Amino acid sequence: MAGTQITAELIQKYLDGNCTLEEKASVIVWYNSFDKEEDILGALKAGEKERLKQLMLNRINARIDETRQKNIGKPKVRNLTYWISGVAAALLIALGVTLYQYNQPAITNNQHIKEARLLVLENMGTTMYQRKLEDGTHIWLSPGARIELPEHFAANTREVSMTGKVFFEVAKNPKRPFLIYAGGVTTRVVGTSFLVKAEKGKDTEVSVVTGKVAVAVSDKTSENVFLLPQQKAVFSASKKSLAKEEVPAKSEVQMWKKPKLSFDNASIKEVTDVLARNFNVTIHSNNAISTCVLKADFSDQNLASILDMLCKSIDASYEIKDDTITITGKGCN
């Protein structure tokens, strides 16, 4: 056993479950020696290190894909949990690879959650998806958005990473700041509401609705932008620049305001016209629901919550694409 050389091929066999007892024992002994040796990968050549790095990442991606395939046919919002084995986790750390590198932008410098169960929410539907986190924070994922977070937040911080477009209403807790890693920037808050856009090929934006937000370029420590309501930070990945701007009066951020709205036996057309004006969106509805009337108080609700309540009340559904919303239903008797 002492003569068994630790190579990328041997470790891959271990991960595949194809090792002999002697080979398995060699890998375990090597793994257990990590805290005793300065160079834990001294047995590997430079080329083997790079190959092992890729093998590990491919292995993790394959496990993720397997989990996704099992969820085909289930609700559009996927709630996946992954558990990376201790050996795989240790090897990735040894190679300088974060556990979440399979999905960029990734959570980095968070060693305290490196072996935590990872919760992944991905909105594969056409409506907004709302979720309340364990700390009381509410998040709304736009279609195509994805967010990763530990199953349980750490005692002194709350950290997530995301892509796409997500709105946050962060539960206030000065002792546990909330950090969002997205599109090359880190957003830090203790309790506020804001919209984060980190879409592929576009500038990353953080727009504040309430409270105060600090935004910084993730790979720098000198550049910070502090935002108040109706302000936004715009990060250009190509220019590596972070700028503060005013949010235009008519923008998608309006969707997340909470105006005072109530209706008393109003037609759906009247309701959607009011919503369109207040939230700066375009709303279409089919003829079948035109006969429906609504009596409701939507005060202090954002548009996503109002759409959910509206559709439930008239047995309808909606789809959202950019700033256009389409409501369809069978009608009311």
Is residue 72 scored above 70 in pLDDT?
Answer: no
Least confident of 71-75, 131-135, 234-238: 71-75
Confidence band for 261, pLDDT divided at 50, 70 and 90 = very high
R_g over Cα of the chain? 24
Structure tokens at 7: 């190579």
pTM over the 0.85 mark: no
Confidence band for 16, pLDDT divided at 50, 70 and 90 = low
Q: Which residues contact 154 (CB under 8 A, 6 or more apart)?
A: 112, 113, 176
Task: Give the Cα separation of 81 and 275 in Å (integer).
Answer: 37
Confidence band for 116, pLDDT divided at 50, 70 and 90 = low
Is residue 20 scored above 50 in pLDDT?
Answer: yes
Which of these, 179, 84, 160, 92, lies nearest to 120 by C-alpha position? 160
Least confident of 46-55, 123-132, 225-234: 46-55
Task: Give the Cα separation of 317 and 298 in Å (integer).
Answer: 18
Is residue 7 scored above 50 in pLDDT?
Answer: yes
Q: Which burial class, exposed, middle or buried, applies to 155 when counting CB atoms under 10 A from its CB (0-12, 13-18, 19+)?
A: exposed
C-alpha torsion angle, residues 250, 246, 178, 180 (rounded to 10): 80
Percent of the chain residues topping a pLDDT of 70:
64
pLDDT in tens, 201-251: 899 999 999 999 999 988 776 578 999 999 999 999 888 889 999 998 888
pLDDT in tens, 57-67: 454 445 444 54
Comparing 13 with 46, the larger pLDDT belongs to: 13
Instruction: Please report the beta strands in the chain, taking only residues with DSSP state E, as ranges in sequence order.
Output: 77-82, 118-123, 129-132, 138-141, 146-150, 158-169, 178-182, 185-189, 193-198, 204-210, 213-217, 224-227, 231-236, 241-246, 262-267, 282-285, 293-297, 316-321, 324-329
User: For 170-188, what is the mean pLDDT?
Assistant: 92
User: For 124-151, what is the mean pLDDT?
Assistant: 91
CATH class of 257-329: alpha beta
Structure tokens at 126: 């056409």
Is residue 174 scored above 80 in pLDDT?
Answer: yes
Q: How many residues does the chain have?
A: 333
Comparing 108 with 278, the larger pLDDT belongs to: 278
Structure tokens at 80: 């996946």
Is residue 303 scored above 50 in pLDDT?
Answer: yes
Is residue 104 scored above 80 in pLDDT?
Answer: no
Is residue 31 scored above 60 in pLDDT?
Answer: no
Q: Quick one: pLDDT at residue 21?
A: 62
Write out 245-307 in H/E/C secondary structure. EECCCCCHHHHHCCCCCEEEEEEHHHHHHHHHHHHCCEEEECHHHCCCEEEEECCCCCHHHHH
Structure tokens at 31: 């793994």
User: For 285-303, what is the mean pLDDT?
Assistant: 90
Which of these, 30, 126, 19, 146, lies nearest to 79 by C-alpha position? 146
Q: Which residues contact 243 (CB under 8 A, 6 or more apart)?
A: 225, 233, 234, 236
Domain boundaries, the chain: 1-73+89-101, 105-252, 257-329
| Architecture of the CATH domain 105-252 | Sandwich (2.60)
Confidence band for 150, pLDDT divided at 50, 70 and 90 = confident
Is residue 195 scored above 90 in pLDDT?
Answer: yes
Q: Quick one: pLDDT at residue 325?
A: 95
Q: Quick one: pLDDT at residue 139?
A: 95
Is residue 275 scored above 90 in pLDDT?
Answer: yes
